[in-house]
Amino acid sequence: MKRSRIGTLGALAAASALVLTSCAGGAGSSDGGDGDEPAAITDLNIVVPADPGGGWDQTGRAMSELLTAEEIVASAPVTNVGGAGGTVGLAQLANEKDPNTLMVMGLVMVGAVETNASAVRIEDTTPIARLTDEPLVVVVPADSKYDTLEDLVEDVVDKGQEVTITGGSAGGADHILAGLMLEEAGLDGSEIAEKLNYTPNSGGGEATSLILGGKVAAGISGVGEFLQHIDAGTMKALAVSSEEPVEQLPDTPTITDAGYDVVLTNWRGVIAPGDIDDASREELVRLVTELHDSQAWTEELETRGWADAFLTGEEFDEFLTGNIDEVTATLQNIGLVG
């Protein structure tokens, strides 16, 4: 079967020449508009468009801590605005007048915009940077009857709605991965829509509670979100969504090795309000680049198990355009949107 891929590699190849920032108040220009140097940001607002506990929250709080610890900014408070895969926060960002604002986002938001038919789209914002890339992991409760990914997938194929899978927001990376695995198991889009019983959550903590409480058959999320529970023996990892096994879970097979030719990585990045000027965008890119280049950020990536996927400027614009196109097509193919 044809390998299903969404993420860093696939979207770069599919990227369009259209640059998103043409919709963002001309922020794609390399100069400062009036020729002035951008004013240095001392106080930065970080918006996490999800409830506490998940990957976006971890990213936003790691950025806040290190931006201040490295004295890149004086303050960087985090505000959580959960709901609908980040589209509630995205709508709020559309009304944000403070240019010194960054919102954490990523593949989950790309899918959620389509699934929720969001009136405000990522194209209405100013892309700043792609930061990280992380494989997903499929887990079950420690006492689950499922010992392999095939056990789980075949049970979904046979029993449909009787088997519940939980993860992040509807249309997000976790939901997409569940659909792709069923597609690889031989189901078409209408069959996937009929059989897949997916329970979405607005924060990683909710999915964890459902899994540990035995309320669902399985869960999908970033490796970093479930790793402590896997290590503690309260969750059992069935497979990871990366090309190769991950360092933190060396004995866990990839989904491809488990029999389903799917590779999916969950990228995360930051965007800003859509109407900021060129100088403000340049300053936001500068401080995020300074954070990325710090040893502290490198160590944070290693601790969290996040891959460095840093992109800014036109490269990030083009990546994002391509990723939106690719995710939209995939959601349609697997029956998650009409």
Checking if the pLDDT of 244 tops 50, the result is yes
The partner residues of 120 in beta bridges, in order of sequence, read none
Which residues have C-beta within 8 Å of that of residue 230, sequence separation ≥ 6?
137, 139, 236, 237, 249
Residues 1-59 have pLDDT tens digits of 334 455 433 333 333 333 343 344 333 333 444 445 657 899 999 999 998 888 899 99
| Higher per-residue confidence, 219 vs 172 | 219
Which residues have C-beta within 8 Å of that of residue 259, sequence separation ≥ 6?
149, 150
| Higher per-residue confidence, 96 vs 14 | 96
Least confident among 97-106, 175-184, 194-203: 194-203
Residues 284-337 have pLDDT tens digits of 999 999 999 999 999 999 988 899 999 999 999 999 999 999 899 889 988 888
- The confidence score (pLDDT) of residue 158 equals 97
Cα–Cα dist 127/149, whole Å = 36
- The confidence score (pLDDT) of residue 37 equals 61
Return the CATH fold of 4-133+267-333: D-Maltodextrin-Binding Protein; domain 2 (3.40.190)
The reply to whether domains 4-133+267-333 and 135-264 share a CATH topology is: yes
Contact 108, 86 (CB under 8 A): yes
Phi and psi torsions of 247, nearest 5°? -60, -40
Domain boundaries, the chain: 4-133+267-333, 135-264
Return the CATH fold of 135-264: D-Maltodextrin-Binding Protein; domain 2 (3.40.190)
Instruction: Pick the closest to residue 167 from 178, 182, 151 (CA basis).
Output: 178
Residues 203-214 have pLDDT tens digits of 667 889 999 999
Cα–Cα dist 160/179, whole Å = 12
In this structure, what DSSP letter does residue 46 have? E
Cα–Cα dist 45/78, whole Å = 7
Q: Note if the pTM is more than 0.95.
A: no
Ramachandran bin of 71, using left for φ above 0, alpha for ψ from -120 to 50, beta for the remaining angles: left
Cα–Cα dist 255/267, whole Å = 18
